[in-house]
Structure 1
Amino acid sequence: MDRKRVTGPEVSVAPLLKAQETAPLLDSNNKRHDQRSMDAIRPLFLKTGLVTQSNGSAYIEVGNTKVVCAVYGPRQLKKAAFSRNGTLNCEFRFSTFSCTKRRGHIRDTQEKEYSHILEQALAPAVRLELLPKSAIDIYINVLENDGTSSCIAAAIIASSVALADAGIEMLDQVTACSAIYMKNQILMDATDKEEQQKDGSIVLSYMPSLNEVTHILQTGQSDSAITSQAIEQCIDGGSKIYSVMSSALLQSLETGVAA
């Protein structure tokens, strides 16, 4: 008999697990759990100058979603070949404690994909032709994740404000807004619990002053009419967020002048 091992029971029984029932997202008055309507976005808090060692930084809270962004540069590329346009490097990271399931320390494929999405959304607004043989580094860290789509939108907003805070010339601020599809209904700025029942999602990046869309990320299946309506609602939501971004930048300028 092996005394060094703990012998298990001869007969094993599968545990009884209670099936989790999904609660409806809308009540009888078409209100969500946080008493928002379907086309309402969560309150937004935005502040610049959080990371003092960087050239520009921004911190954003959208409900329980918390994202911090730092911008370094522009810096000269010494070993790279000459290029007429500068390069924009983005690094998107989830903190290990930010999600329901603990994340790893090494960047996974999802974080690399989101980094590429941020580069595509921000590059049309930054005047990279004025920065030959230079690079701008953007680092985004998600402190708390309350909806993956809202995290991407919050990261785009924080990155745009951090670039402006760093004094980098841009054509316009890039704002972003997200929405999900559920049973031919559109829910703006969904939370993590709402995204668990989604049929699809969309994240739209938009420059309000130029009235140009820089990037659209859509997942899942939906009708063309629902997609068009979601794009219009995201543009409307981005225009509302643009005023908050402008107010945060003006406040940072007033604080710098006073200092």
Structure 2
Amino acid sequence: MDRKRVNGPDQSVAPLSTNVPERLPILNNDGKRVDQRSLDDLRPIFLKTGLVTQANGSAYIEVGNTKAVCAVYGPRQLKRSGFSSNGTLNCEFKFSTFSCSKRRGHMRDPEERGYSQVVVQALAPAVRLELLPKSSIDIYINVLENDGSTSCLAAAIVAASTALADAGIEMLDQVTACSAVLFQKQIVMDGTESEEQQKDGNMVISYMPSLNQVTHILQNGISDAATISQAVEQCIDGCSKIYSVMSTALLQSLNDNNNDNNMDNKL
């Protein structure tokens, strides 16, 4: 008998039952979701720029219970030596420790690092980095409340694109993003955390509406080709709706700045 390891029992008994989480219905009896939305409805969006005064550009976004703030610093000179013909785009995505149902750590985990790379890949095709040699643009995103990871990522991309425009960074077009939760026979747009817990897959699409170009697609889970194709079309339609909200927020910010300048000139 090996005395240096803990031996298991000679006989084992199979469990009588397994605890399989029960999948709750997505729709109520009246054909609506829990928050009284239909399958293709998006949650109301609140978007405002200029909240972080120390940053060159900033934006705050609320999508239902999802809340995130983004700050953009730059363009500023790279600290490392050497010449770079194109600028670099950096992003730091972080969930606040109190933002999720399970408390997050202070250090960034692999999920947050992956989301940071997704934000950079989604925004890089729109930013004119060739006009900013030997420069860097730093984006800091902090999620204050998480009501669905994919919706948080989509909201972060929208806030980052709006903050870049607020900072005066030259871009080809605004980048919008929309998320979808995939089930076996249903596509739920802008899913909440409770809906994501029962998902078979999810999708986040980043899109430039004026140029009609998709900059990034993130799809997880198992689904057939027809469902994925339909989800892409619905996400693009959702991005077009979000684009009007972004344009309104930027125009309102521009009007507020002009009014402040006029007041200063009168004084």
Letter in 1 for 2:193: D
What is the percentage of aligned positions where both structures have the same residue? Answer: 73
Which residue identity lines up with residue 114 of structure 1 in the other structure?
Y
Give the match's secondary structure for 2:191.
coil
Aligned partner of 1:171 in structure 2 is 172
**8 A Cα contact 1:68 1:158, kept in partner:** yes
Matched, 1:207 2:204: no
1-structure distance, mates of 2:72, 2:164: 6
**Letter of the 2:44 counterpart:** P
Deviations 1:11-52 (A, max 9, x none): xxxxxxx98644312113321001100000000000000100
**2: CA distance between counterparts of 1:47 and 1:163?**
13
Give the letter aligned to residue 212 of structure 1. Answer: Q
- Aligned-residue Cα RMSD (Å) equals 1.4
Matches within 5 A, 1:1-259: 21-259=22-260
2:263 corresponds to? none
CA distance in 1, matches of 2:80, 2:202: 41
| Matches of 1:80 and 1:31, distance apart in 2 | 58
Residue 256 of structure 2 aligns to a residue whose secondary structure is helix
Amino acid at match of 2:175: V
- Distance of 1:20 and 1:184 partners within structure 2: 20
Contact 2:40/2:189, CA 8 A, preserved across alignment = yes
**Is the contact made by 2:67 and 2:144 (CA closer than 8 Å) also made in structure 1?**
yes
- Tell me how far 1:138 sits from its aligned partner: 0.1
Give the distance between the partners of 2:251 and 2:199, measured in 1 at CA. Answer: 37
CA distance in 2, matches of 1:196, 1:147: 9
User: Which residue identity does 1:154 align to in structure 2?
Assistant: A
Using the alignment, how far apart are the partners of 1:83 and 1:114 within structure 2?
25
Q: Which residue of 2 aligns with 1:8?
A: none
Please state whether the residue corresponding to 1:143 is helix, strand or coil: strand
Structure 2 length as normaliser, TM-score? Answer: 0.89
Partner of 2:264: none
Q: How many residues align?
A: 243
Unpaired segments of 5 or more residues in structure 2? 1-18, 261-267
- 2-side partners of 1:177 and 1:231: how far apart? 10
- The answer to whether the 8 Å contact 2:179/2:235 transfers is yes
- The answer to whether the Cα contact below 8 Å between 2:74 and 2:137 also exists between their aligned partners in 1 is yes
Question: Equivalent residue of 1:216, what SS?
Answer: strand
Equivalents in 1 of 2:47, 2:117: separation in Å?
Answer: 24
Is the contact made by 1:54 and 1:70 (CA closer than 8 Å) also made in structure 2?
yes
**Aligned partners of 1:30 and 1:38 also within 8 Å:** no
- Distance in 1 between residues matched to 2:67 and 2:152, nearest whole Å: 8
Q: Aligned partners of 2:222 and 2:185: how far apart in 1? A: 10
The 1-side partners of 2:29 and 2:63 are apart by: 26
Question: Does the 8 Å contact 1:57/1:163 carry over to 2?
Answer: yes
